[in-house]
Amino acid sequence: MSSEQPVKKRISESTIHRLSMYFRTLSLLQKEGYETVSSKELARREKLTPAQVRKDLSFFGSFGTRGLGYDVIELKAKIGEILGIDRVWKVAVVGIGNIGSALVSYKEFTRQGFKIVKLFDNDQRKIGSNHKGIVVSDIKNLEKEIKEDGIEMIILTVPATVAQYMVDDVVRAGVKAILNFAPINLKVPPDVYLRNENMSMELEYLSFAIRNNHTPKNMK
Amino acid sequence: MSSEQPVKKRISESTIHRLSMYFRTLSLLQKEGYETVSSKELARREKLTPAQVRKDLSFFGSFGTRGLGYDVIELKAKIGEILGIDRVWKVAVVGIGNIGSALVSYKEFTRQGFKIVKLFDNDQRKIGSNHKGIVVSDIKNLEKEIKEDGIEMIILTVPATVAQYMVDDVVRAGVKAILNFAPINLKVPPDVYLRNENMSMELEYLSFAIRNNHTPKNMK
DNA sequence: AATTTCTTGTGAAGCATTTCACATGAAAAA
DNA sequence: TTTTTCATGTGAAATGCTTCACAAGAAATT
Ligand SMILES: NC(=O)c1ccc[n+]([C@@H]2O[C@H](COP(=O)([O-])OP(=O)(O)OC[C@H]3O[C@@H](n4cnc5c(N)ncnc54)[C@H](O)[C@@H]3O)[C@@H](O)[C@H]2O)c1
Ligand SMILES: NC(=O)c1ccc[n+]([C@@H]2O[C@H](COP(=O)([O-])OP(=O)(O)OC[C@H]3O[C@@H](n4cnc5c(N)ncnc54)[C@H](O)[C@@H]3O)[C@@H](O)[C@H]2O)c1
């Protein structure tokens, strides 16, 4: 049974998000001392169906043993590979304000392979200051320092009014992935990946749910 | 043409998220001075199809004028009603650490109708301290103060290790909606709405995309 | 060694969501 | 007033995603 193959089919956003969930749960199972886990148990913990779990994995290969389930450590490693977190990604945070500086101290990112190595701001009072051992750089040196350090991902936490300019700058510096927190639709070239983190949207979902007595299938 | 009716069909998560997007874009259009907007233009700004926009709205009524489009102010008000943000929701933040205190100073929440009115922590050094004019309360008074203030939503920003206990407490206090930032699967009774904000997941999506040269349909 | 038990992997079926396509109706132009 | 233009609202088709159901294969039991 083949267990490795390049991704051919188009993988849905939901599948990728569930892979992240499986990964986290597998880490927990590992800590709890489990050696194997069935799709049934994995599904129970994520409130999914076992078929869903198996189907998600089947897009990438066959990693289980019939009658037994999946080896926890092995499956975790496989999913880590699929997600691309079997390596360290160098990340820079642009905009060291309220949310930016909170993210810098978030240890979970490092644990998942996202290492924040550079911070940028344009405020003279912030440039040179130290956050968790990292000195804030002047935004003027963005392109130079990103290239020097081989940074491939940006967390963007600047005001919405300047977010597009900053995106244009980091794209020019060769960055291929951006996680944006500003509540604005940004334009990026087709070869740059952009995700938006939008907390108001989640609060609005809750508001909608209460107002409409919504019974959702998938309150993820 | 009827323009108001209770929601009968099950509305998808995607539709609700898109309504949030439309709302934000309509605010922008209003600022830019537009009086009307077509589904085509709205779709262009959100990178969707015009049919998608019209279908989303059609679940809730018919708000447009054939040949002309939608009245910007009117549609914005309608979507605000649908989302339940035509009122003020009282929100409390539980856990005033890095991310919790960043959220307290986020003005966008207030603008969308989510008013943070109480902060809770269990750390003596934080209790009594002032964040944007709000004094941090002792977590011991959670139930009492939530009931007194009529708080209906909680933003939960405590360590994952204690998150479930805090959820149990706020549920006991009668809260019906929780936005959780801890990376853990929480259990809530069926009448309580829970949403999870998971930033690692978004970074992992980016990592997956780069690794697999992913060409997604909907990098939202 | 044979049988039972268990759980995977996967086509196919069942649902859900998105897109198409066009009748309908309102506004603008003639 | 009549005609043309434009864009909505919506069944129906197309596409996409989830669940079903079962053959197949591995381990455990007899
Ligand atoms: N605070 C929150 O909880 C929160 C939540 C969700 C989204 N957001 C969004 O995140 C972004 C930041 O929010 P915040 O509350 O941290 O704001 P903030 O004002 O505290 O931080 C913004 C930072 O960006 C810096 N900055 C401004 N222009 C810059 C430039 N051209 N180059 C580099 N740095 C620049 C500022 O000096 C500041 O340090 C905003 O777009 C906001 O809407 C914030
Ligand atoms: N910092 C980030 O950028 C970030 C990003 C995503 C998710 N998160 C998650 O958000 C949560 C908070 O992260 P943080 O970095 O702000 O951590 P933090 O340690 O800075 O803040 C946690 C706060 O919760 C308080 N607390 C602890 N136990 C409590 C209790 N029983 N009752 C009330 N308050 C209590 C602590 O006193 C502290 O003020 C964590 O679960 C973390 O995984 C954080």
B96-117, pLDDT tens digit by residue? 999 999 999 999 999 999 999 9
Looking at residue B10, what is its pLDDT?
A: 86
- Domain extent, residue A110, equals 89-201
Q: Strand D closer than 7 Å to the CB of B43?
A: no
Q: To the nearest whole angstrom, how far is the Cα of B161 from the nearest Cα of chain A?
A: 12
Q: Is A50 on the interface with B (CB under 8 A)?
A: no
Q: In what order do the strands lie in the sheet with A193-196?
A: A130-131, A134-138, A114-121, A89-94, A153-156, A177-180, A193-196
Half-sphere exposure of B23 (CA within 13 A, CB side): 24
The verdict on residue B2 lying in a domain is no
The verdict on residue B123 lying in a domain is yes
Find the nucleotide nearest A15 (Cα to C1′): D17
A139 and A173 part of one domain: yes
> How confident is the model over B127-143, as a mean pLDDT?
97
Give the residue among A124, A111, A179 at the shortest CA–CA distance from A151: A179
**Residue finishing a domain among B51, B82, B113:** B82
Provide the mean pLDDT of chain B.
Answer: 93
Q: Report the distance separating Cα B151 and Cα B115, nearest Å.
A: 10
B55 and B151 part of one domain: no
- CA–C1' distance A70–C11 (Å)? 22
Looking at residue A7, what is its pLDDT?
A: 52
Q: What is the pLDDT of residues A126-173, one digit of tens each?
A: 999 999 999 999 999 999 999 999 999 999 999 999 999 999 999 999
Q: Which residues of A50-62 are buried (b: 16+ CB within 10 A; e: fewer)?
A: eebbbebbebbee
A195 and A102 part of one domain: yes
Q: What percent of chain A has pLDDT over 70?
A: 93
> How confident is the model over B66-74, as a mean pLDDT?
96
The verdict on residue B217 lying in a domain is no
> How confident is the model over B189-200, as a mean pLDDT?
96
Residue nearest to nucleotide C19 (CA to C1'): B51
Residues of chain A with pLDDT under 70: 1-9, 216-220
**Residue finishing a domain among A82, A114, A139:** A82
Q: Which residue of B has its CA nearest to A175?
A: B210
Half-sphere exposure of A198 (CA within 13 A, CB side): 20
Query: Residue B132 above 60 pLDDT?
Result: yes
- CA–C1' distance B157–C10 (Å)? 41
Give the residue among A60, A99, A59, A93 at the shortest CA–CA distance from A77: A60
Q: Pick from B103, B153, B210: which is nearest to A177 by CB?
A: B210
Q: Which residues of A27-49 are buried (b: 16+ CB within 10 A; e: fewer)?
A: eebeeeeeebbbbebbbebbebe
First CA to last CA distance, chain B = 32
B75 and B99 part of one domain: no
A93 and A184 part of one domain: yes
B39 and B60 part of one domain: yes
Q: Report the distance separating Cα B42 and Cα B70, nearest Å.
A: 10
B118 and B30 part of one domain: no
Q: Strand D closer than 7 Å to the CB of B72?
A: no
Looking at residue B9, what is its pLDDT?
A: 67
The verdict on residue A153 lying in a domain is yes
> In the numeric block, which tokens belong to residue B13?
């998560």
| Contact at CB, A219 and B195, closer than 8 angstroms | yes
A89, A114 contact by CB (below 8 A): yes
Query: Residue B90 above 70 pLDDT?
Result: yes
Q: Pick from B23, B82, B203: which is nearest to A179 by CB?
A: B203
| Contact at CB, A20 and B198, closer than 8 angstroms | yes
The verdict on residue A210 lying in a domain is no
Q: Is A113 helix (H, G, I), strand (E, B) or coil?
A: coil
The verdict on residue B3 lying in a domain is no
**Residue finishing a domain among A41, A63, A82:** A82
Q: Strand C closer than 7 Å to the CB of A78?
A: no
- CA–C1' distance B212–C9 (Å)? 23
Total number of domains in chain B = 2
Angle subtended at Cα B70 by Cα B66 and Cα B74, rounded to the nearest 5 degrees: 135
Give the CATH number for residue B156: 3.40.50.720
Pocket of ligand 1 (CB under 6 A): A 94-100, 120-123, 126, 139, 157-160, 162, 166, 181-183, 199; B 102-103, 105-106, 108
Give the CATH number for residue B46: 1.10.10.10
Residue nearest to nucleotide D19 (CA to C1'): A51
The verdict on residue B211 lying in a domain is no
Q: What is the pLDDT of residues B20-67, one digit of tens each?
A: 999 999 999 999 999 999 999 999 999 999 999 999 999 999 999 999
B116 and B66 part of one domain: no
B99 and B178 part of one domain: yes
The verdict on residue B220 lying in a domain is no
Give the residue among A181, A152, A186 at the shortest CA–CA distance from A168: A186
B184 and B123 part of one domain: yes
Looking at residue A217, what is its pLDDT?
A: 45
Looking at residue A214, what is its pLDDT?
A: 81
What percent of the residues of chain B are helix, what percent strand, and what percent coil, each to the nearest 5?
A: 45, 20, 35
A178 and A77 part of one domain: no
| Contact at CB, A195 and B177, closer than 8 angstroms | no
A76 and A96 part of one domain: no
Q: Is A202 on the interface with B (CB under 8 A)?
A: yes
